[in-house]
Every structure is written in C-alpha cells, then in structure tokens.
C-alpha cells in the first residue's frame, strides 16, 4: 500500500509514529510546512474519522482551541486514510524536527503560567463538548502550545477521531494507557455521555501532571515502562477487537492506586480551589466526576475571575504600593517586625535604628543584634560629650555689655576690697557659681539618662523579638528536618517494597516466558509431525490435516505479531517463521512462503553467529529452509539463485551431520536430493551434458546407499528420481531408446518405494510420471492407462505441482488420439475435455506465470479438441477452443521466439481456425486466419526446409485462399 496523495503536498520527512499512524512533514503549495498523518486502518474507525474531519475542516465556524484540518483523504483500495494539519514546531540546528506539544513542554510551566495553561486547555475542551463531540484519546502528544500576538500562549487540541474504544482491530499501547479512565479500559463503551467523562478524566491527569510534574496514578508503572522503551510502546492494547492482558494489567493497577495524593499544600486559596476541581476530574467512579468539560471550565473561570477582581481592587486602593512589591517569597512561618511609632527620634535613637529583613537567616540576625548594642554604647559617649560642649559654650565666658562699663571699675574696686577684707568670700562666691552651674548640668544629665533608659528599653524589646524570631526559625528548621527524615525513612521503606515487588514481578515474568516458550516448543513439535506426515491411507486424515494447517497458519501469524523482535523470544520467532513458511508453501501461497523463509533464514543465521544460541536444530531447520527457498526460486525461473540455495542447504546438512551423528542418514539423502535439484536447474537452462554427468554421479552414490540399506524407501525414491532425470535429459537430446530405458528403471524403482511406503504420494506421482513417459515414447496404451489410473488418483491432491498435471494431460491426449484412430470420437472428446479441465485452473490462476511447457500442452489439447469437434461436424463449436489455443500460442511464441515448435503449432491452429470459419460460412474470418496461417507456414518452412508436412500445409492454405 502506497502513501496517500493529497493535492498540493510534497512529502519531506518522517516526523514520528504513534499508535494511530505515521506523521510526515510535508510542504504545501502555499509555501508553508504542514503535517500529514497517515492513519493505521486497524487502529481507527472510519465513521468517526469522517465526522471529525468534516467538523474540524470547517473554516467558517471553527471550534476555538482546536487544530484545523486543512485536507484529508479516506482510505482507498491502495492507500490509507490521511489528514493534513498545521505544523507546530521548527527544525533545530542538528536538523531534527521539534514539536511544541504538551508532551515536550508540559514540565516547563510553573505558577501562574501553569494555571493559565490548565485554564486554556479546559476552555478548548469545553468548546468541543458544547458541540456534542468528545476526544476519547486525549494525551500530551495531541495538545500543542503556540504563541499568540499578545505574547501569551494558545493551547490547541488535535488528533480528534483517534480514540481508544472497544471494537478496534489492533491498537498499540504507546503512552495512551496512562491517560485513559478506568471505565474506558474496562469496556470501551462511550455511549450515554461516557465519552465526555473520558475527556474529563484525561484532562485531570494532564492538569495534575502540569502542576506537579508527575502522574496522579501509575507513576511507578510509567517509569518501569520507560525502561523498556520501544518494546512497551509497540505492545498491543487492543487486538482483534478485545482488550489485551496489558490493558487489563493497567486497569488492575489503577484500582490499586485509587487515592490521589498531592505532593504538598499550595500557598494560596486560588491554587487550593484549582486542586479541588482537578481532584473531582480524577474521581475513580465516573458518576462522581463532572458531566463534561463545560462545568470544569466554568468552575476554573470563576477562580480566575476572582483573582482578577482582587487585583483590580488592590490597584484602586494603593496603586503606589505595587512599585515596592518584592518578588522574593516570604516564608509563612516568619512574621515581619512591627513598625515603631512614628514620632521624632533623638540622635541616639536615629543612629541605633536598623532595618531587619524578615527572611534573614539566624546568623545574620545575631550579627545585627551585636551591632545595635555596640552602637548604643557609642551613642551614650556622644551624648555626654555633646552635653559638656553645650555648657562650655554658654554665657559664662561672654563679655559684659558697654553701658555697664562705667560702673565696672567701681564695682571691681569694691569687690577687690571685699575680697581683701574677707578672704573666704571669693571661695564662697565660687561655690555658689559652681552650684548654679551644677544644677542645669544635673537636670540635663537626668534628662539624658532618662532618654538613655528609654533607648535601652526599646533595644531590649527589639532584641527580645529578634531572639524570638530566631528561636521560631530554628524550631521550624528542626521540625522540617524531622519531617524530611521521616519522609526519607518512609520513602526508603516504599522503595524497598517496590524493589521486592519488582523482583517478584521479574520472577513471575521469567516463569511466564519460560512457560510460553515451552508451550510453543510443544506446538512446534505437533505441527512438525503434521507437516512431515502428509501421506496416509487413514480415512478422514487428509481433511483433519488441512484443518490443522489452517489453525497452524493463524497460530504462527499471531505469534509473530505478538513476539515481534522481543529479545526473550528470538528463537521462538525464528521457529515460527520457519513453520509458517512451510505451511504457506504447502497451501500454494508461494510469494508469502518465499518472504517468510527469507526471514527465518536471517534469524537462524543470526542465532548461529552467537555461540550462546547455537543448536543442531537450528542448523537442520536452516538447511530445510534453504532447500525450500531453492525450490521456490526454481518455480519462478530463477535457476541461478535456486542453485545457490540448494548448495547452501547441502552445506548446512553437512554441518548438522558433523554436529550430530544421528542425522548422518537423513543428511546424506538430503544432500543427494539437493544435488538432483541442481541437475534440474542445469537441465532447465539447457546444459544437458553437465546435467547428465551430474545425474550419473549422484545415481552412483545413491546405489551405494541402497546397497547398505536396501529397505529404505527414501533412498530408493531418490535413486528413482535420478533415473527419471536421466530419461528427461536423454529425451531432450533425441536419444529416445536410452530415455525409455531410464524411464522404465525409474518406474521399477518407484514401484519398490510404493511397496515399502504405499502412503507416500511422492512415490506414486513418480511412478505415474515414469509410466506415462514410457507409454508416450513407445505409444504403449496399457502403460498410459496405468499412468492415468495412478496420476488421476494422486494429482488431485497436488494442485500446485503443474508438471504432474501436464504429464497427465499429455497421457489423456495420447489416449484420445488412440480413441479417434479407433473411430470412437465421442470417447476421444471426453478424454480431451478431461485433459483441459486438469490444466485450465492452473492457466487461469497463474496467467503469464504458468510454465511454457504447460501452456504448450494446454494449446495442443484445445486444438485436438477442435479437430474432434470438426470430425463430428460441429465446426462452429470448434472455433472457441481454437481461438483460445491461438491466444496461448501467441503468448509463448513471443516469450521464446527460438522455439520453432511453438511457431509450427501456432500456424497449424490458425489453419484449423480458418477451415472452421469457412465451414461455418464466415468467409471474412476464414480469409483472415488463412492468410496469417500461410505467412506463419512460409516463415517456418524457410527455417525448416526438411519438414515435408509444413510444405504441404503451405500448399493447402494457398488452395483454400484461392477458393475464397
């Protein structure tokens, strides 16, 4: 089947493969790249695809948030269904195509962006559900993220019509099983709105994965499946309309993991609300889920609208605060410090004040406390020094005013006199002045002291609060450490359980594989016996054997489909190809048999190249497969290739005999049979002398084997075959007497083989063939009748061996001539009808592939039948077989122009046809056939001037034309 052709598209490259088909990059005549997906017919339903293609290709009223369908083509007789959609992606520097699907980008979204992607996805699916449609196969690979003109992203949903449901012929698992709902895996019934709830569940899984980075269920199973890679992705989820054990295993695992656990609590109510919605979508029971995505989308929009309203309100109250918002997250367990009262701060308070970051670490906070205490001590010193500087700069040291200058001298004299009369007065005055100075200083010192106490008290409060914050953070850190340790221990316990479970599953899987291999080995042995024992006289055995082969064909085709290239079943798959090739060959499906044997050969050779998988059985099977390939090649006329295969078969039989002495006898006979097959090829290409020498050599060796074991029917049969081949070669060389002797010896030997094993039809066919050849060469009617009796009984069971049908038809032809010569035309006509009925199915089924000698015999029987009908006066009826005979002879004459025998038979048939037309009153037809016959005869006579009958035929046609 070829790739579908869409007008205006040119395939560029394979983008990838999934369970539903193959995606190709294609260039469109509009100079843009698009994706053409070629869908697998067994994995899709045509009725769904037609409806979805029509809906999503509507450009007038498109469904928002869905991928547009540009063009599509429904499956035809020689091409698959295909659909064209946009290409969301680019080509990287290393020439690889990158797709912007949720499968690739899903883990990159965080925070508000993740919320927005989930909301957009819900809105896109709700638009689809509003139209009464559902997806049924939603997974990250079918969701695409693209940029819009505003710098944000758009979420587009595609791959509609590619769903998992009951009734599909064959569907691979891929990653689809991780996103389908339990009831979808259970029965695949999408009626009564269940399909909408499938989408709700799949949305919940994908949304959970976007927000948390992992699956809500089946996470561990997914990791195990990823380890197996391609082997798992190509495993069947649905086969022959039913869910496979793989799907059933996923359903059982889902039932074990019903509760959904979120990794941690979200920091705000908005995300908590979104989590509740997703939790409802993931309900195990579909009755507890929202009925469709419209409800889910509206609920998410309410959360989104509430957030936008809060943002608008906050902007109206204090827009200037937005400028100072820090993007640094603040841990919930640390409270910011309360602001100090807004009153004027003295110098010491101003110097002491520091800002403490609410997210500071404990060591940084302690450092700030030490700095503040040191600052307080410095401030105290500065206050005292400042106070004394103010005292020194007062009025005590200033000069007196000018108007007191006049009385100054008198006062000074009086004071000086008083000081002299009273010496203690000076000190009394100095004491008073000192006391007057001490009072304001004391007041100032008391005030400064009070202020210092207030600062110390405030610093103490701050220090206490800082210490409490440090203690709180330390306690939170210790609690978190304890929780982490507890979680670590729990995780370790779970990992141990998983490891134990994994080991147990591996053991069970190994046992299951072993049982499966043993079961197939038993089946192989049974079907080998069926194939090797085809000849028996037990009533009803033949029919039961045919039914068993039909069952075997289905059995091995299914095994090959299931095993694939699985490394655990390499040997089993090779054996399956081997036995299936033998079955195809016996059932006449030679093309399939050739391809299947080729695959078996390739796998056996690979097994023998590995020392770990070498086996005598493989060598024996490979030898048999090589011989079968040689026989099939010879049927196609590829004699050089056939000789190579026969030689290879003998080489492997030699290896098998060397490896196992019990195979010596079987291998020896098989090698001689291969040599006789090589002789057949030499004879077919016209190398008669080489073929005759080889036949005599093989016959001599077979005579020695017969002497060592005179009762072995197979050895005697091979020897009989060698004499039969010798007879054919000598007959072709014109040595008729020697040919008759060889055929007679062959008949005698075949008769011995039949006595030893009467059920072996191969020997009966050989006996009948040899008797027929002797009878034909010697015109011995009794031998010909004996040949008819034998061949007529056996040939019917070998419809795919035209050489035996040909010889039987030749025998019937000779017997018919004998009856005609005896005046019994009616008996002769019946015999020719019998001969034609034997060959006609072969000619009609094979057409141009029919061997030329079989076609030649068929044309002779038709021509002789026409002569017999003419003898009876039925000239009009005789024209039909003559027309068919002329057509066949024209065909083989063009195929091999060197065969003058074919040209002579054609000229004779045309002459008979012209005579029949003349007798029927068709003079124009008679003239046409006679003119062609005359030209054919004249050309033949020029090449064969010694043929007297041909010269008479030229004169006869000339006379007939002159009479017209």
Within a domain: 795:
no
119 and 255: one domain? yes
614 and 695: one domain? no
Sign of torsion, CA 286 292 296 299?
Answer: negative
Compute the distance between CA of residue 239 and CA of residue 241 in angstroms, rounded to an integer.
Answer: 5
Compute the distance between CA of residue 102 and CA of residue 158 in angstroms, rounded to an integer.
Answer: 11
821 and 869: one domain? yes
Within a domain: 344:
no
CA distances from 348 to 26, 351, 451, 456, 464 (A): 79, 5, 9, 10, 20
Q: Three-state SS for 27?
A: strand
The last residue of one of the domains, among 669, 685, 701, is: 685
The CB-based long-range contact list for 129-134 (8 Å cut-off, 24+ gap) reads 129/196, 129/199, 129/292, 129/293, 129/294, 130/294, 131/55, 131/63, 133/52, 133/55, 133/160, 134/190, 134/195, 134/196, 134/198, 134/199
Q: Which of 913, 963, 916, 917 is nearest to 936 (CA)?
A: 913
Q: Which segments of 133-283 does DSSP mark as H helices, in order?
A: 182-186, 194-212, 219-228, 230-233, 245-256, 269-281
The last residue of one of the domains, among 652, 685, 718, is: 685
- What integer pLDDT is reported at residue 203 of this predicted model? 96
Q: Which of 48, 63, 41 is nearest to 161 (CA)?
A: 48
882 and 761: one domain? no
464 and 587: one domain? no
- What integer pLDDT is reported at residue 228 of this predicted model? 65
* CB-based contact 469:462 (threshold 8 Å): no
Compute the distance between CA of residue 921 and CA of residue 915 in angstroms, rounded to an integer.
Answer: 10
939 and 811: one domain? yes
678 and 766: one domain? no
CA distances from 330 to 300, 325, 334, 357 (A): 27, 12, 8, 10
668 and 700: one domain? no
119 and 215: one domain? yes
Assigned token pair, 262: 């979120």
CA distances from 373 to 343, 352, 362, 369, 964 (A): 22, 8, 17, 6, 144
Q: Give the torsion through C-alpha atoms of 763, 764, 765, 768, to 10 deg.
A: 120
Query: What is the mean pLDDT of each successive set of 10 residues along the chain, which is 964 residues long?
Result: 84 89 92 92 87 89 92 84 92 85 84 88 95 94 79 85 86 89 88 92 94 89 75 76 85 88 73 90 93 94 72 42 31 33 34 33 38 43 40 39 49 60 64 72 78 80 78 77 77 71 61 61 72 65 78 85 77 85 82 86 81 76 90 85 92 90 90 92 89 91 88 90 92 90 91 83 83 85 80 68 79 84 86 88 79 87 91 90 92 81 90 91 90 90 87 90 83
CA angle 171, 175, 180 (to 5 degrees): 80
Name, in order, each residue with C-beta under 8 angstroms of 91's C-beta and a sequence gap of 6 or more. Answer: 97, 98
Q: Which of 849, 913, 854 is nearest to 881 (CA)?
A: 913
Compute the distance between CA of residue 846 and CA of residue 926 in angstroms, rounded to an integer.
Answer: 32
Q: Which of 146, 282, 154 is nearest to 208 (CA)?
A: 282
Q: In the 3-class helix/strand/coil scheme, how is 112-164 assigned residue by residue?
A: HHHHHHHHHHHHHHHHHHHCCCCCCCCCHHHEEEEECCCCCEEEEECCCCCCC
Compute the distance between CA of residue 900 and CA of residue 324 in angstroms, rounded to an integer.
Answer: 107
Assigned token pair, 102: 């949720």
Q: CATH number for the domain including 16?
A: 1.10.510.10
569 and 623: one domain? yes
Compute the distance between CA of residue 366 and CA of residue 471 in angstroms, rounded to an integer.
Answer: 11
Phi and psi, residue 138, nearest 5°: -65, 130
- What integer pLDDT is reported at residue 423 of this predicted model? 58
Compute the distance between CA of residue 410 and CA of residue 399 in angstroms, rounded to an integer.
Answer: 18
635 and 711: one domain? no
- What integer pLDDT is reported at residue 504 of this predicted model? 64
Within a domain: 34:
yes
* CB-based contact 531:583 (threshold 8 Å): yes
Phi and psi, residue 242, nearest 5°: -125, 155
* CB-based contact 39:82 (threshold 8 Å): yes
Within a domain: 325:
no
CA distances from 240 to 178, 237, 243, 273, 401 (A): 22, 10, 8, 44, 125
Compute the distance between CA of residue 157 and CA of residue 128 in angstroms, rounded to an integer.
Answer: 10
* CB-based contact 756:711 (threshold 8 Å): yes
Name, in order, each residue with C-beta under 8 angstroms of 362's C-beta and a sequence gap of 6 or more. Answer: 470, 473, 474
Compute the distance between CA of residue 930 and CA of residue 914 in angstroms, rounded to an integer.
Answer: 5
Question: Count of CB atoms within 10 A of residue 909's CB?
Answer: 28
Phi and psi, residue 874, nearest 5°: -90, 65
Phi and psi, residue 209, nearest 5°: -65, -35
Domain coverage including residue 452: 367-391+422-482
- What integer pLDDT is reported at residue 67 of this predicted model? 94
Assigned token pair, 66: 């869905």
Compute the distance between CA of residue 459 and CA of residue 354 in angstroms, rounded to an integer.
Answer: 11
Q: Three-state SS for 216?
A: coil
Within a domain: 957:
yes
Which residue has tokens 């699985």? 566
The last residue of one of the domains, among 660, 685, 710, is: 685
273 and 169: one domain? yes
Strand partners, 101: 144
DSSP string covering 847-871: GGGS-HHHHHHHHHHHHHHHHHHHH
Compute the distance between CA of residue 925 and CA of residue 930 in angstroms, rounded to an integer.
Answer: 9
Q: Three-state SS for 265?
A: coil
Taking the chain, what is the end-to-end CA distance rounded to the nearest angstrom?
A: 56
Q: Three-state SS for 350?
A: helix
Q: CATH number for the domain including 776?
A: 1.20.58.80
Assigned token pair, 436: 């007057």
Within a domain: 398:
no
Strand partners, 89: 99
Q: CATH number for the domain including 560?
A: 1.25.40.10
- What integer pLDDT is reported at residue 605 of this predicted model? 83
Compute the distance between CA of residue 293 and CA of residue 125 in angstroms, rounded to an integer.
Answer: 6
Within a domain: 413:
no
Within a domain: 122:
yes
Q: What is the tally of structural domains in the chain?
A: 5
Phi and psi, residue 801, nearest 5°: -120, 80
């Amino acid at each position: 089947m070829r790739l579908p052709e869409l007008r205006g598209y040119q395939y560029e490259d394979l983008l990838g493969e999934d369970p539903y088909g193959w995606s190709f990059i294609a260039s469109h005549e509009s100079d843009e790249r698009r994706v053409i997906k070629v869908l697998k017919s067994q994995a899709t339903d045509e009725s769904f695809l037609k409806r979805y293609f029509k809906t999503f290709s509507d450009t007038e009223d498109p469904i928002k948030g869905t991928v547009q369908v540009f063009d599509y083509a429904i499956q035809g007789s020689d091409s698959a269904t295909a659909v064209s959609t946009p290409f969301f992606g680019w080509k990287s520097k290393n020439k690889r195509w990158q797709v912007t699907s949720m499968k690739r980008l899903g883990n990159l979204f965080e925070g508000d962006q993740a919320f927005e992607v989930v909301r957009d996805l819900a809105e896109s699916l709700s638009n689809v559900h509003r139209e009464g449609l559902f997806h049924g196969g939603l997974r990250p690979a079918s969701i695409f993220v693209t940029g819009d003109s505003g710098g944000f992203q758009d979420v587009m949903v595609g791959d509609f019509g590619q769903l998992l449901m009951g009734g599909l012929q064959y569907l691979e698992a891929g990653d689809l099983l991780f996103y389908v709902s339990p009831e979808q895996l259970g029965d695949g019934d999408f009626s009564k709105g269940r399909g909408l709830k499938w989408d709700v569940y799949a949305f919940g899984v994908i949304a959970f994965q976007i927000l948390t980075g992992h699956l809500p269920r089946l996470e561990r199973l997914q990791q195990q499946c990823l380890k197996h890679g391609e082997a798992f992705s190509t495993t069947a989820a649905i086969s022959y309309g039913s869910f496979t054990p793989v799907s059933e295993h996923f359903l059982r695992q889902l039932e074990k993991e019903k509760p959904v656990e979120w990794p941690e609590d979200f920091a705000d109510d908005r995300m908590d609300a979104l989590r509740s919605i997703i939790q409802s979508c993931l309900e195990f029971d579909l009755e507890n889920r929202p009925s469709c995505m419209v409800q889910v989308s509206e609920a998410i929009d309410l959360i989104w609208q509430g957030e936008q309203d809060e943002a608008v309100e906050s902007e109206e109250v204090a827009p200037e605060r937005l400028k100072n918002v820090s993007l640094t997250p603040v841990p919930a367990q640390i409270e910011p410090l309360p602001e100090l009262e807004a009153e004027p701060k003295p110098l010491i308070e101003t110097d002491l004040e520091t800002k403490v970051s609410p997210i500071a670490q404990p060591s940084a906070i302690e450092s700030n406390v030490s700095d503040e205490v040191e600052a307080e001590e410095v401030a105290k010193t500065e206050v005292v020094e400042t106070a004394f500087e103010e005292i020194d700069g007062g009025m005590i040291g200033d000069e007196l005013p000018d108007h007191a200058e006049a009385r100054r001298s008198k006062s000074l004299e009086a004071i000086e006199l008083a000081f002299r009369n009273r010496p203690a007065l000076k000190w009394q005055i100095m004491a008073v002045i000192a006391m007057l100075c001490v009072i304001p200083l004391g007041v100032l010192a008391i005030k400064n002291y009070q202020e210092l106490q207030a600062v110390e008290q405030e610093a103490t409060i701050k220090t206490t609060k800082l210490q409490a914050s440090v203690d709180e953070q330390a306690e939170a850190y210790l609690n978190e450490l304890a929780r982490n340790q507890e979680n670590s221990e729990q995780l370790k316990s779970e990992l141990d359980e998983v490891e134990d479970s994994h080991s147990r599953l591996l053991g069970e899987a190994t046992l299951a594989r072993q049982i499966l291999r043993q079961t197939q080995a038993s089946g192989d042995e049974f079907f080998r016996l069926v194939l090797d024992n085809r000849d028996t006289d037990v009533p009803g055995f033949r029919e039961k054997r045919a039914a068993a082969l039909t069952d075997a064909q289905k059995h091995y085709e299914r095994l090959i489909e299931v095993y694939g290239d699985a490394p655990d079943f390499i040997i089993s798959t090779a054996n399956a190809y081997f036995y299936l090739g033998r079955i195809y060959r016996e059932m006449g499906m030679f093309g399939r048999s050739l391809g299947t044997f080729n695959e078996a050969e390739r796998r056996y050779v690979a097994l023998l190249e590995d020392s770990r998988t070498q086996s005598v059985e493989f060598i024996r099977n490979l030898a048999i497969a090589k011989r079968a390939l040689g026989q099939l090649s010879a049927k196609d006329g590829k004699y050089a290739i056939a000789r190579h295969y026969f030689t290879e078969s003998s080489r492997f039989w030699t290896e098998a005999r060397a490896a196992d002495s019990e195979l010596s006898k079987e291998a020896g006979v098989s090698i001689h049979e291969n040599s006789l097959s090589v002789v057949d090829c030499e004879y077919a290409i016209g190398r008669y002398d080489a073929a005759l020498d080889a036949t005599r050599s093989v016959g001599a060796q077979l005579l020695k084997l017969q002497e060592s074991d005179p009762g072995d029917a197979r050895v005697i049969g091979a020897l009989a075959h060698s004499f039969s081949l010798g007879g054919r070669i000598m007959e072709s060389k014109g040595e008729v007497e020697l040919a008759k002797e060889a055929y007679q010896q062959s008949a005698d030997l075949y008769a011995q083989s039949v006595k030893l094993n009467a059920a072996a039809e191969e020997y009966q066919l050989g006996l009948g063939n040899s008797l027929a050849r002797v009878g034909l060469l010697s015109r011995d009617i009794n031998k010909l009748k004996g040949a008819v009796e034998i061949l007529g009984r056996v040939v019917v069971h070998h419809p795919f061996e035209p050489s035996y049908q040909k010889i039987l038809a030749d025998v019937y032809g000779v017997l018919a001539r004998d009856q005609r010569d005896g005046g019994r035309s009616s008996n002769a006509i019946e015999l020719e009808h019998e001969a034609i009925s034997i060959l006609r199915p072969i000619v009609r089924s094979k057409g141009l592939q029919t061997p030329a000698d079989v076609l030649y015999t068929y044309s002779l029987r038709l021509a002789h039948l026409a002569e017999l009908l003419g003898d009876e006066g039925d000239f009009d009826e005789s024209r039909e077989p003559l027309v068919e005979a002329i057509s066949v002879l024209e065909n083989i004459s063009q195929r091999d122009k060197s065969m003058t025998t074919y040209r002579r038979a054609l000229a004779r048939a045309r002459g008979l046809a012209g005579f029949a037309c003349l007798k029927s009153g068709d003079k124009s037809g008679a003239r046409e056939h006679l003119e062609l016959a005359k030209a054919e005869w004249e050309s033949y006579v020029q090449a064969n001037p010694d043929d007297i009958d041909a010269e008479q035929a030229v004169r006869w046609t000339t006379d007939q034309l002159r009479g017209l």
